[in-house]
Amino acid sequence: MIVFPNGKINIGLNIVGKRTDGFHDLESVFYPVPIRDALEVVPADQFRFSAYGHPIPGKKDENLCLLASKSVQKLYPDLDEIEIILYKNIPMGAGLGGGSSDGACTLKLLNQYYELNLTDMQLLELASELGSDCPFFIYNKPSWVRGRGEMISTIDLDLSSFSILLVYPDIHIDTAWAFSQITPKFPSVPIVELVKRPLAEWKSSVTNDFELPVFNKFPPLASIKNKLYEAGALYASMTGSGSTIYGIFEKNVIPSISFDQNFRVDVINELK
């Protein structure tokens, strides 16, 4: 059984408070985008996990697919043995939520594979234990996300009449450092209200708190954003704490833009 975990972009991101548990409260709109990994479960004589494609940093036993599997096995210790196979295509540490999507999709895939009949609420609870962005991928619909990422309200936002250009410059942004650069504050207007306005107005109102410190430290990222606007993007932004920059263009009219040869560029014409 195979599924294809997708990524997301942040449309605006405000850091609104520091929590007593060391995390931060935020508010952002998450929008799913069809850049995908591949995740497969097959029967096996003993449990195995293997990964291919983009190298995955960190310890193997901390991979979110493994942690998701362990959380299910803890609830159901007598399940048949399986092998989980991950093909990694979504860049790591890019602000696209690839690892979180893999973890959440592992929960959903095992629920389907074993016919466990776990509810969305049960899956959300398990996903929240894996990581801040994981719960979003249980619903995987345009959403206003708050708190640590566990407060999710689906919203009516449709970008299917536009195209998106994703530019990943392979610059690693340390998330802890990025958060340390932010002074939390509540916005005067929540992002969920700003995105109801015409997309052409987003440029002057929908912002990502991480951009200022990250662009100051990594000027090429600011240059990418400027190039997207110069090429006709209706809206451009960094997603998450970076380093992917995206531009939203009129449908199927993304021009050819010259970027550094080491940059990964994905054109997305089929949004839901």
Q: How far apart are CA 164 and CA 60, in angstroms?
A: 32
Peptide bond into 243 cis (omega under 30): yes
> Which DSSP state fits 46?
S
Q: How far apart are CA 230 and CA 222, in angstroms?
A: 12
Exactly one of 37, 88, 102, 133 is catalytic; which is it?
133
Q: How far apart are CA 152 and CA 257, in angstroms?
A: 35
| 8 annotated active-site | yes
Relative orientation angle of helices 64-75 and 120-130, to the nearest 10 degrees: 130
- DSSP per-residue codes, 23-43: -EEEEEEEEEEEEE-EEEEEE
| 133 annotated active-site | yes
- DSSP per-residue codes, 172-183: ---HHHHHHT--
Q: Report residue 198 as tokens.
A: 């015409």
104 alpha-carbon distance from chain centroid:
11
Quick one: which of 133, 208, 186, 148 has its CA closest to 19? 148
| 7 neighbors 242 (Cβ within 8 angstroms) | no
Active-site annotation, residues:
8, 133
